[in-house]
Structure 1
Amino acid sequence: MGIRAGIVVTGTEVLTGRVADRNGPWLADRLLELGIELAHITICGDRPADIAAQLAFLAAQDVELIVTSGGLGPTADDLTVDTVAGFCGRKMVLDTALEERITAILRKLVTRMPDLDFDAVRAANRKQAVVPEGATVLEPVGTAPGVVVTPLAAPTPTIVVLPGPPRELQAMWPAALATDAVQAAIAGRVHYRQDTIRMFGPAESALAEALRLAEAEIPGFAELEITTCLRRAELEIVTRYEPAAADSYDRLRAALCDRFGDAVYSTDGATVDDQVAALLAGRWAATAESCTGGLVAGRLTDRPGSSAYLAGGVVSYSNAAKSELLGVDPELIETHGAVSEQVAEAMAVGALRRFGADIAVSTTGIAGPGGGSAEKPVGTVCFCVAAPDQPPVLRTVRLPGNRSDVRERSTTIAMHLLRRALAD
């Protein structure tokens, strides 16, 4: 077994759901990159007894490293450092040099707030300069320093204490990783590989059956740590393995490609958004959306430099907007209904003309309750991908779920239709 680690996310605001945890997943990815096996992520409030209980639990799981986030501020409920010190058997001491560095940071901050009492602010933040004796101090990114604390007695693991704001935690992580204490704790790590396969179309049950067959047929299958996830209406298969099991993974990838064919659209981890962006290089796209409310345009622009290939988009809910903004013939809407392949095609062609694009994708459907009929129930969505001098690509589907589910799945379908049209 390689090096194991645990993460403790502290903060009553996170525990109660008022603030979403972004630190746990981010740290999990960083540990995985290092070849460290993540045993657990726990979340607890700001109560010292609960923090100590999480530390004790993880220590009992034979982890060599614990990373905590949150509880480093100047207020009375920020008690993570004190609790970690007690857990490691170390007393708290004032680091006067650190106090001066924090004071210098505060002076810069209060220049923007001339009415603030600097002495009161300094007194409140003095608490942040009290650290466990013998700890390695991680320089503040905001005003809160982090610390790396080693135990006075084995087998307590080394503990990295990081601030709660993700911007500060992420910026401080390289410094924590570079410390002698952390390097010593993770010295025995195994350099795992991780590969991702993405599929669009097959059901989870079909994938489960394929993996059962692979388990029986592929030597060394047990050495592959496989995680499957249904994400954005796609199946994501993430496999983590030691280099010695590379042949077993290659056999698994080949087996899935043979079984599911074109439904396997990515074996290198690239998302459909990545692939569409690459295929659009040098071309302009446009969007015309109704039920997806601009989410397709959002997917097309959610990356650096993406505005270089999105010519523009129209979100048109009302029939009048479809006619006025996209040039859809009102009689076409009257004859076939706003949710129809005919109107979807007219919307896509209208977006092509309006923005002078090379390709356009449209969506029109019934995502929410109260708008369906026996012929076109809620979840009915029509799509069109149009390009000059090419026949349109049309699709009508009926999607399960609530409004959010229908919109998310519709957006994914639109991206895949766009990908296939660009690749042809």
Structure 2
Amino acid sequence: MSARAGIVVTGTEVLTGRVQDRNGPWLADRLLELGVDLAHITLCGDRPADIDAQLRFLAGQDLDLIITSGGLGPTADDMTVERVARFCGRELVLDTALEARINDIVTGLMARFPGVDAAAVRDANRKQALVPAGATVLDPVGTAPGVVVPGTPEVGPTIVVLPGPPRELQPMWSAAVATDAVRAAIAGRTEFRQETVRMFGLPESGLADTLRDAERDVTGFDRLEITTCLRRGELEIVTRFEPQDAAAYSELLAVLRDRHGREIYSEDGSSVDEQVAGLLTGRRLAVAESCTAGLLTARLTDRPGSSAYVAGGVAAYSNGAKTELLGVASGLIERFGAVSEPVAEAMAAGALQRFGADTAVAITGIAGPGGGTEDKPVGTVCFTVALAEDGSSARMLTRTSVLPGGRSDVRERSTTVAMHMLRRALLGEG
């Protein structure tokens, strides 16, 4: 069995959702890279009894390492170091060298705030220099140091105490891993491999049937740790395994290819966004969207260098905007309706012309909550991808989908459908 770890995220602001936890997922990825098996992530507020309860729980889970984040500041609700020291049966002692370093940092910060009582601030920050006896101090990135408390047979696992702000926690993590206590705690780690397959156009139930059959037919299936996730209409299958079980993963991948070859679009973990960005190299893309509030344009431009292939986008909700900005004939809208395949194609053609592009994506639909009809219920969305080659008329790929969910679901799923249509068109798959 590999070394095992648990994470305690502290902070009432995180517990109540005012601040999103970024540390738990980030630390989980770092542990995976080290070959450490993450058993639990727990979350609690800034209350002594609750912090104690999380430490007791994790210490009883046969772990080698516990990592805490948050609660290292100078205020009264910052109590993680104190609770960890008490849990480990260690006295809090003043580290005078650390106190001097913190004072230097605080003095520099206070220079920007004239009129602040520097002595009072230094006194408040003095508590950050109190560390458990025998702990290793991790130099502060902000004003709060971290600590590593070595594990003992009597108390339990080694505990790494890190600050809450990700900009402080992340650079401090490498220092923590380099300490003798952490290296000893994770000495039994196992090198895991992790592979990701991504699919589009397959219901989760279809994948579940395939995995049930694979459980019966694939030798060593029980040694594969498989996690599936449905997100924005895509299926993500993450498989974690030890190197000696690579043959079992190869068998599983062969089953997935045989059953769902058309739906698999990535076997190396790359996202559709990454693939589309690569396929657009040397091309000039324009976007015309209605019902998606500019989300597709935002998604396409949410990466460095996107200006090299995205010329621009138009979000046109009203019929007048479609006519004025994209050149869609008003008679076409009157005849077929704003949500129709002919209008989607006209929007794509208009985007090509307006931006001097050779590639265009158009979306027009009914995201809700009102506005649907019996023929075109809420969730009806028409898509067109247009590709112009060598000055010839554009080749159009058009489809209509009825997408489930509320307004935000329809919008998000629409951008995913559009991305996959664009990918297929650029690959020449139609």
- The equivalent of 1:423 in structure 2 is 427
Backbone CA RMSD of aligned residues: 1.1
| CA spacing shift, 1:123–1:155, aligned 2, 3 Å | closer
Provide the residue aligned with 2:398 in structure 1: 394
CA distance in 1, matches of 2:228, 2:89: 41
State the Cα deviation string for residues 274-323 of structure 1 (Å, max 9, x = none).
Answer: 10011111222111111111111111112222222211111111111111
Verify: 1:408 aligned to 2:408, yes or no.
no
Output the CA distance in 1 between the equivalents of 2:132 and 2:360.
60
The alpha carbon displacement at 1:48 in A equals 1.2
User: Residues of 2 paired with 1:125 and 1:152: CA distance?
Assistant: 30
Q: Please list, as runs of the form range in 1=range in 2, the aligned pairs for 1:204-219 lying within 5 A after superposition.
A: 204-219=204-219
For 1:76 and 1:320, the matched residues in 2 are separated by: 59
- Could you tell me how far apart the structure 2 residues matched to 1:153 and 1:62 are? 11
Letter paired with 2:415:
T
Paired residues in the alignment total: 424
Partner amino acid for 1:391? R
| Residue 117 (1) aligns with residue 121 (2) | no
Identify the residue that residue 290 of structure 1 maps to in structure 2: 290
Check the 8 A contact 2:291/2:365 in 1, yes or no. yes
CA deviations 1:333-373 (Å, max 9, x no partner) are 11111111111111111111111122111111010211111
Matches within 5 A, 1:269-348: 269-348=269-348
Name the SS of the counterpart of 1:262 in structure 2.
Answer: coil
Among all aligned residue pairs of Structure 1 and Structure 2, give the percentage whose two residues are the same amino acid: 70
Q: How many Å separate the matches in 1 of 2:295 and 2:115?
A: 44
Matched residues in 2 for 1:115 and 1:194: separation?
54
Amino acid at match of 1:166: P
> What letter matches 1:117 in structure 2?
D
- Name 2:376's counterpart in structure 1: 376
* Matched AA of 1:84: V
Q: Which residue matches 1:15?
A: 15
**Residue aligning to 1:179:** 179
Deviations 1:113-141 (A, max 9, x none): 12322112111111111111111111111
CA distance, structure 1, for counterparts of residue 329 and residue 296 of structure 2: 24
Query: For residues 32 and 359 of structure 1, what CA distance do their matches in structure 2 show?
Result: 40
Farther-moved stretch of structure 1 (72-81 vs 382-391): 382-391
**In the alignment, what sits opposite 1:162?**
162
The Cα offsets for residues 125-164 of structure 1, whole Å up to 9 and x where unpaired, read as: 1111111111111111111111111135535100111111
Partner of 2:41: 41
AA aligned opposite 1:417: M
For 1:141, the equivalent position in structure 2 comes to 141
Distance in 2 separating the partners of 1:159 and 1:356: 59
Partner secondary structure for residue 314 of structure 1: strand
1:22 CA displacement: 1.2
Contact 1:2 1:190 (8 Å CA) reproduced:
yes
Post-superposition shift, 1:9? 0.5
Distance in 2, Cα, partners of 1:256 & 1:151: 44
Q: 349-358 or 254-263, which moves further after superposition? A: 349-358
Q: Which runs of 5+ in 2 are unaligned?
A: none
Is the 1:88–1:150 Cα contact (8 Å) retained in structure 2? Answer: no
Distance 1:310 1:177 in 2: 42
8 Å Cα contact 1:89-1:152 kept in structure 2: no
The amino acid across from 2:401 in the alignment is V
3-state SS, counterpart of residue 148 of structure 2 = strand
Q: Which amino acid aligns with 1:77?
A: D
The alignment partner of 2:71 has SS state of: coil
Contact persistence 1:287–1:362 (CA under 8 A): yes
Letter of the 1:411 partner, please give it.
T
User: How much does 1:242 deviate?
Assistant: 0.3
Aligned residue type for 2:420: H
Give secondary structure in 2 for the equivalent of 1:258: helix
Give the secondary structure class of the aligned counterpart of 2:395: coil
One-letter amino acid of the counterpart of residue 283, structure 1: R
1:55 aligns with 2:55: yes
- 2-side partners of 1:329 and 1:116: how far apart? 66
Whether the 8 Å contact between 2:88 and 2:155 is mirrored in structure 1 is no
* TM-score (norm: length of structure 2): 0.97
Alpha-carbon contact 1:90-1:152 (below 8 Å) kept = no
Question: What is the CA–CA distance in structure 2 between the aligned matches of 1:378 and 1:403, rounded to whole Å?
Answer: 9
Paired residues for 1:59-74 under 5 Å: 59-74=59-74
Contact 1:65 1:158 in 2 (8 A): yes
Letter in 2 for 1:366: I
Q: Please report how far the alpha carbon of residue 180 of structure 1 lies from its aligned counterpart in structure 2 after TM superposition.
A: 1.2
Residue 196 of structure 1: aligned partner: 196
> CA offset at residue 104 of structure 1?
1.4
Indicate if the aligned counterparts of 1:88 and 1:153 stay in contact, CA closer than 8 A. Answer: no
Mapping of residues 20-35 of structure 1, within 5 Å: 20-35=20-35
What is the letter of the counterpart of residue 220 of structure 1? G
Following superposition, the deviation at residue 74 of structure 1 comes to: 0.6
With over 3 angstroms needed to count, the CA separation of the structure-2 counterparts of 1:247 and 1:153, relative to structure 1, is closer
Q: What one-letter code is carried by the residue in structure 2 that aligns with 1:415?
A: M
Shift in Å, 1:230: 0.1
For residues 119 and 330 of structure 1, what CA distance do their matches in structure 2 show? 72
User: Which amino acid letter does the alignment assign opposite residue 409 of structure 1?
Assistant: R
